[in-house]
Structures are given as C-alpha cells and as structure tokens.
Structure 1
Amino acid sequence: MAVQSWIDIVKSSKKTALIHDGKRKIHYHFKDGKEMAEEYDLKTDELIVRKWRHKSTLGVQGCWQVEVGEPLVSTTASLDSDVIKENCCNPVFVRKDTKINFQWRIRNLPYPKDVFSVLVEPPERCIIIKTSNKKYYKKFSIPDLDRSQLPLDSSALSFTHANNTLIVSYKKPKEILTFEQELLKELKKLKGTAEGDVDCKTQ
C-alpha cells in the first residue's frame, strides 16, 4: 500500500514536460508545496537528473538539492576565484542510476578494492561505506525505498572499484521497477513542448 500511495502522490502532482537537448525534462509540483525536477535521456529513457526544492516555513523558495546526477556547481564560487574551493582531490559522491540498479560513484578513492567494506544497515535504513585504512567513511540512504517504505536487502548490494572510483550498486526491487515503468508511460503521454515554447504554469 505504501508504494501505491507514493505512486498516487506522483500521479496527482501537477506536471510540466519540456523536450530539449535530447532530454525529456519534467517539473512536478506537489500539493505540499515541494517541487521535483527530473531529466530523462530520450533515447534510453534512463533517469539522468532528479532534484528537489522545498519552501521554508516562511514560504521562501529553497535551493535545489540534487538526488540523482552531478552535484550543482555554485556559480558564486566559480565567479570569485578568491573563494575557498573544495580540494579537487577530495572524494566526489554522485548517484547515477541504471535501468535495474540504484548506483553511486565515489571518485578520487585511490585505494585497492579489498580496503573497502560496503554494507546495509537495516535498522538505520542506510548503506555504509568504510575503509580499513580509516581514510573514507560514508553513510547514505536510498530515498526511493524510504518514500515507498520498502525494506533494505543486503543481497541486493554489490560494489566494484576501478580507475580510483568505487561503484556501489543496489538492485532495484520489483516494486520500484514496476513503479518506474508505470511513471515513464505516464510521462510519455505528457505533451512535451520544445524549449522556448513552454507554458511554465508555475504558481
């Protein structure tokens, strides 16, 4: 029932579609005031970007928070060269899903694979990455499973390491695969306008 309720929330949201640059861009307005923006590859139907925006208690529009895709680059930091920037050698944590897996890539981790330990922590509803050399630790949840109130399964988790990048994969449960297929069918029915010819209908 929980999965169905999330499907209902998404289906009842106000959606605007835009086709641009080989992508299907969808903007969702939910009844609670939250907004979600997604971008899908037109050829493969793979999700490239998902980000969220919430209003504060005073009704001020917050900044976009990226859930899937490359993190947003701060324009203020790039305009002012004196701003303290994050070291380019620091680990970069990015979620990039495939059709069948939730997937995270952590770049700039130059350690051998046997140093890494990746495990599911069901009571905390999260995945933990740690290294035996104490050089990296990360704890993160899977929002898709939380929204649908689905349990975490250790057997769905796997990881590989290549080119200084740790790739963590979590096999999507069948409920999520069904939901994503249903949603994609619905999104394809939306009349996607070309960029520059879009009625934004934002309130």
Structure 2
Amino acid sequence: MSYVAWLSKIRSADKSSAIQGTVRKVHYSFPDGNEMIEEYSTETGVILRRAWKVRSDLLKNDNWSIELGDAIPKVEKNDGFLMREASSEPFLSKRVTRHAIEWRIRNLHYPLSTYTITCDGDARTITVRTSNKKYFKKIAVPEFERCNFPPVQEDLTVRHQNQTLIISYKKPPILIEMEKAVLVELQNVETIEYNNMQCEDLLKGLIG
C-alpha cells in the first residue's frame, strides 16, 4: 500500500478525542512537534475539517492552516463590537464526501466556458485558469500525495452556479482504502463526550 507512510504517521501521534453533538474532534501531537486537528461526522464517518498548527518563531505565535473544511473566520473587536473579515476576492474552500473531493471557489462570476481545469498527474495538483487571464490557481491535493495517486482528467467534473466554481474529483479506490484504515486506527483512541460549552472551550484552547 502506498499510503503506509501516512498511516504510520497517524499511529505515531499522541491522540485525544472528544465528541460534541454529531462531531468527533481528534487532536494529534506528532513526534516532530507538529499538531493536527480533524473533525469527523459521527453519523457518516466523513471528515469535515483538517487543520495544521503552523509555528512562527519570528512572530512568536502559532496559527492554524486549514487543509480541509471552511476556514476559521478572523474576528476582530472594534469599539466593543465583533467584526468579521469580509472580502470580494475569489475564495477557495474544500470539503469531502463519501465519494468525492470538492473544491468551491467563490466570487468567480465568469461563465463556465471561461475556465480551463486540468489535472497534473506528476505534481498531484489541479490547475484552474481563465481564458481572460483574470484568475489562476494551482491547487495542491495532499490526499493524492499521501496515497501516491496521480489524478486523471476523466474523474474531474466542473460546474458553475451562484458565482461559485465547483470542482469535484471522484475518490480513487486507494484513497477510500486509506481513509478507512485511518478510521480503524481511530477506533482505538479513547473518546470523551462533552457538552457544547465544554467542547467549545476545549477547541478554543487548542486553536488559541
């Protein structure tokens, strides 16, 4: 199996797990000092979010990089009021279902015929470009790297609606197998069930 290295990394981590409602949150501390948080649906077993702690020696603080799922919105206080960051720029988010990986690029109002989306099998990436040269994005796919899978054009589908470009890639069997192997590993992790307030405080402590 070509995903042995990723499975070994998961096994090597110190793991803690908590359930809040229908979401299971798993925190990983790896031997190399890296940290990762995953959130899973307890109803489907599908992963909802994956985030990595990014350490900055220069800024003397840590941030979380969202690999999968909606980004955590930046919230700032202004004269006592909470203000969320807003932008009209194209914004990429990623989610998975049981059978596909899906990317949504919001704030792209060009018609579908404007876009060219291609797979790069060697680089394990998906590239989006527009004929009017207004947008270009090379999307890294860590899942393909972990299972050493070269994406192919035939399994890629694209649609456009509500100013959002939606790209879907059918999961290859090896990726589905890798995900199942990780879930089997997580069955051995002790899980605590928290109420909403306790779990929110725990997550705030982790993502700081």
TM-score when normalising by structure 1: 0.84
Change (3 A) 1:8 1:104: same
Q: Where does residue 78 of structure 2 map in the other structure?
A: 80
- Structure 2 gap segments, 5+ residues each: none
Give percent identity, aligned residues only. Answer: 33
Q: Where does residue 118 of structure 1 map in the other structure?
A: 117
Higher mean displacement: 48-57 or 96-105: 48-57
Q: Where does residue 27 of structure 1 map in the other structure?
A: 27
SS in structure 1 at match of 2:25: strand
Task: Tell me the CA shift for residue 98 of structure 1.
Answer: 1.1
Task: Tell me the CA shift for residue 86 of structure 1.
Answer: 6.4
- Structure 1 gap segments, 5+ residues each: none
Change (3 A) 1:110 1:17: same
Considering only aligned residues, what root-mean-square deviation do their CA atoms show, in Å? 2.9
1:40-95 superposed Cα distances (whole Å, 9 cap, x missing partner): 1111222111000144568x66211000111122233xx238xxx86532222100
Task: Tell me the CA shift for residue 199 of structure 1.
Answer: 9.8
User: Would the aligned equivalents of 2:74 and 2:85 in 1 still touch at CA under 8 Å?
Assistant: no
- Structure 1 residue runs of 4+, over 4 Å off? 197-200
TM-score when normalising by structure 2: 0.82
SS in structure 2 at match of 1:63: strand
Amino acid at match of 2:42: L
SS in structure 2 at match of 1:62: strand
Q: Which has the higher strand share?
A: 2
Q: Where does residue 13 of structure 1 map in the other structure?
A: 13
Matches within 5 A, 1:158-169: 158-169=157-168
User: Would the aligned equivalents of 1:33 and 1:55 in 2 still touch at CA under 8 Å?
Assistant: no
1:88-138 superposed Cα distances (whole Å, 9 cap, x missing partner): 322221001111111101112122211111001234432111111222211
